Amino acid sequence: MELHVVINGRKDLAEQLYQQLREAIGSGRLAAGAQLPPSRLLAEQLGVSRKTVSDTYATLTYEGLLVGKTGRGTFVNARAPLSERLHTSTDLACTARLAKWQSLPSPMRHPTRDSTLRYEFIGGATSRNQFPQDEWRRCTQDALRRIAQNSGFYSQPEGLPALRSAIAGHIAFSRGVNCRDSDIIVTNGAQQALDLIARVVLEPGSMVAMEDPGYSPARQLFVAMGANVASVPVDAEGIQVDRIPDGTRLIYVTPSHQFPLGMPMSMPRREALLARAFELGAIIIEDDYDSEFRYEGRPTDSLQSMDTHGVVTYVGTFSKTLLPELRLGYAVLPPAIYGAVLKAKQLTDQHSSTLPQWALAKFISEGYLLKHIRRCHTVYAGRRERILQRLAGDLSPWFEAVPTVAGFHMAALCKVPVNIPLLMELARRVEVGVYPLEVFFHDAPVRPGLIIGFGAIETLDIDPALDKVRDILQQIG
């Protein structure tokens, strides 16, 4: 590594080197685990004797700031937090604001690679084994060639024309969305789309109505922007439209696959929601996060396809159909807010990375996406069916499934009192990840249960994992 050390004159060489290395470690410029140059090399670069460098390394090692590893070299040791000279949060004028952000929970944060369990029923995740590596590699190589031919300027904030055209065609075919290329803005996942829309629609104190239970990251985003979030109960037909309060400016819904319970919004309820939004002058965010996977009945078109007043923004993502790490989503926007959202996107990050945009445009246009969805549909349908069989079988004394016809998670409600935190803790000990339903309830009465994702767990792992869950339930009564 290149180490920035300046030697002034020929006096106190060891002291100069010692002080500069110590300051670099204390300030964080030399991070924990960083390797220092060999003593001979650093001595040559600085024009000092090797003994000067070796003695300095030895002193810092004695003080615990460096550590020598036989056959590998000298490294910065793990150390306490940065210098006391840095401000603590209590020194800052924004302390109260920081505390509000830090207090936001993270109920849907995925585990790291190192903390992933053997059997994962986490929602919103997909199986890496289903990802079409070869097709994606070819599309990425084509994207690299295209980027190499470009001028080197920034791209368009709304997204590449090729990708917007591909998205428009895909969602018109698969979800009945009524849009043109020019209605679409490409975003870094659906969460950025929600952020941009909320940014331009809301002001501090604005009223947002959303389903309860509902998608917690959306609620936290609206709260962080200073909005007042009204919790609107849901029933078997979806959000109870007559409970949406006057003064609402933004309405967030998941009509095709209610999150987290899973039921679709009925047609009468959709019509009532559109009428209520028009009456209020409110914008509806339709989060259509995973409804491309449908297992029963006739496919339901998007809410956006019914909109005749320009009040629905349709938000989609490729994190569920491809990989969460891809972080590509999009928003189909009505004319009234398109220009404002586009400006917010430009100010936020200029544009989304063009490499995955080019790759995804080719992936869709070559038919790989539809082929991948059909293949995953078969796999997910089998997993869903097996989990439903177990919930109706040996797990039925404790849980019952909420009827759902789309997506790749389901809710299982408790039929008898179950200590869900204890179940989760004991399941983790045997490498099974199960997750609570209660974190998605805010003001509505909590219905205890589990949210069971079947996108990440392999089909052959479902029975062994649920056997472990059943055994734990029997043990804890």
Quickly list DSSP for 276-325: HHHHHTPEEEEE--STT-B-SSSPPPPSGGG-SSS-EEEEEESTTTT-GG
Where, residue-wise, is CATH 3.90.1150.10 in the chain? 119-127+371-476
CA distances from 174 to 194, 284, 292, 311, 373 (A): 22, 21, 7, 21, 11
CB 203 within 8 A of CB 226: yes
Per the listing, tokens 């990425």 go with: 140
Match domain 119-127+371-476 to its CATH number in 3.40.50.300, 3.90.1150.10, 1.10.150.300, 3.40.50.450.
Answer: 3.90.1150.10
CATH fold of 13-76, please? Answer: Arc Repressor Mutant, subunit A (1.10.10)
Tokens standing for residue 123? 């929602």
Cα–Cα distance measured from residue 269 to residue 168, given in angstroms and rounded to the nearest whole number: 26
Sign of the alpha-carbon dihedral angle for 123, 285, 218, 363: positive
Where, residue-wise, is CATH 3.40.640.10 in the chain? 131-366
CA distances from 297 to 91, 126, 448 (A): 59, 24, 28
This model's pTM is above 0.85:
no
| pLDDT by 10s per residue, the chain, length 477 | 556 676 766 667 888 889 889 888 887 788 888 888 898 888 888 888 899 899 999 999 988 899 988 888 899 987 644 444 455 556 788 888 888 888 877 766 777 666 678 899 988 788 778 888 999 999 999 999 998 887 778 899 999 999 999 999 999 998 999 999 999 999 999 999 999 999 999 999 999 999 999 999 999 999 999 999 999 999 999 999 999 999 999 999 999 999 999 999 999 999 999 999 999 999 999 999 887 888 876 667 899 999 999 999 999 999 888 888 888 999 999 999 999 999 999 999 999 999 999 999 999 999 999 999 999 889 999 999 999 999 999 999 999 999 888 888 999 999 999 999 999 999 999 999 999 999 999 999 999 999 999 988 999 999 999 999 999 999 997
Cα–Cα distance measured from residue 347 to residue 164, given in angstroms and rounded to the nearest whole number: 20
Give the end-to-end CA distance of the chain in Å, rounded to a whole number.
Answer: 59
- How wide is the angle at C-alpha 169 spanned by C-alphas 164 and 174, nearest 5°? 125
SS3 assignment, position 83? coil
Domain 131-366 architecture:
3-Layer(aba) Sandwich (3.40)
Cα–Cα distance measured from residue 274 to residue 421, given in angstroms and rounded to the nearest whole number: 39
